[in-house]
Amino acid sequence: MDAIAEQEPLAAALAEPRARIGLIIPSVNRMTEPQFNHYAPEGLGIHVARGRVAGQPGKTVAELTDEIAHAAGTLADAGPDLIVFHCTNTSMEEGADGEARIINLIEKTTGIEALSTSSLVNDALRVLGLKKLVLLSPYMSNAPIISYLNAAGFTVVKDVALKCATAADFEAVTPQRWLELARENDTPEADGIFLSCTNTTQIEAVTAIEEALGKPVVNSNQAVLWGCLKRLKEKLGNGEPTPNLGRLMKDLDA
């Protein structure tokens, strides 16, 4: 077999995507890229730009403007169909106004449709009809998340923040532990679970939690992948398999 023939399987795997998304992620985030590349259908190209947009106490959206605009500009060079500001805490901490400023900044900088993790989590919770949530995260505090959710019309009936100190600590919490936490903190009044954070193994626990509790589960990475696939459905066509990531993804087939 000659060298070119040997490369044919690789060439097929590297075929031109039918659609592309760009993700602006915190520079410390090491989970988003492998998870999106694992769960995204083959026809979707994933492009990532890093920015120091998280883990800096006191930094407002206004103070992060240059960082966000630079990351968005580098992603625009790759020609994505959508750009997502992909950090749950930063996109929620200044509420709907801060979220809107981030989205408007990216669109003004690039001319490309922009979204945020917070907006897509909001959409996902509404599609599933959820109103009362158990909130699980690795953060030191869930206060900004709760404030955002309350303003959007959701109620957090159980608040669990693991107080992990570093990004590496976020990553060290296993899918099994997220499942255990969901079981331990579920309450009858909660109609769903929100697993907040983009730099965790949470997405790997979504299906197991839904099976254990019989309630829908939304995770930050899952919600963003769902929201992008929904908007790019026409470009991707009907041939791509839907990721096996809980009830939310069934909305793509509706």
pLDDT tens digits for 180-206?
999 999 999 999 999 999 999 999 999
- Does residue 2 register a pLDDT over 60? no
Beta-bridge partners for 46:
21
Structure tokens at 221: 């990475």
- Give tens-digit pLDDT for 134-150: 999 999 999 999 999 99
Residue 108 near residue 65, CB atoms below 8 Å: no
Portion of the chain with pLDDT greater than 70, in percent = 92
pLDDT of 253: 83
The pLDDT-based confidence of 16 (bands split at 50, 70, 90) is confident
- CATH classification code of 129-219: 3.40.50.1860
Reported pTM = 0.92
| Domain chopping of the chain, boundaries | 14-119+223-253, 129-219
Name which residue leads in pLDDT, 242 or 35.
35
φ, ψ for residue 23, nearest 5 deg: -120, 125
Distant-in-sequence, close-in-space partners of 170: CB < 8 Å, separation ≥ 6: 31, 138, 164, 197, 199, 200
**Under a CB-based contact definition with an 8 Å cutoff, are residues 85 and 116 in contact?**
yes
CATH topology of domain 14-119+223-253: Rossmann fold (3.40.50)
CA 146 to CA 100: how far, in whole Å?
18
Distances (CA, A) of 224 to 119, 136, 230: 9, 17, 10
Give the pLDDT of residue 7.
Answer: 57
Please tell me if the domain spanning 14-119+223-253 has the same topology as the one spanning 129-219. yes
Whether the CB-CB separation of 197 and 220 falls below 8 Å is answered with yes
Q: What is the rounded average pLDDT of the residues 65-90?
A: 97
pLDDT band at residue 119 under the 50/70/90 scheme: very high
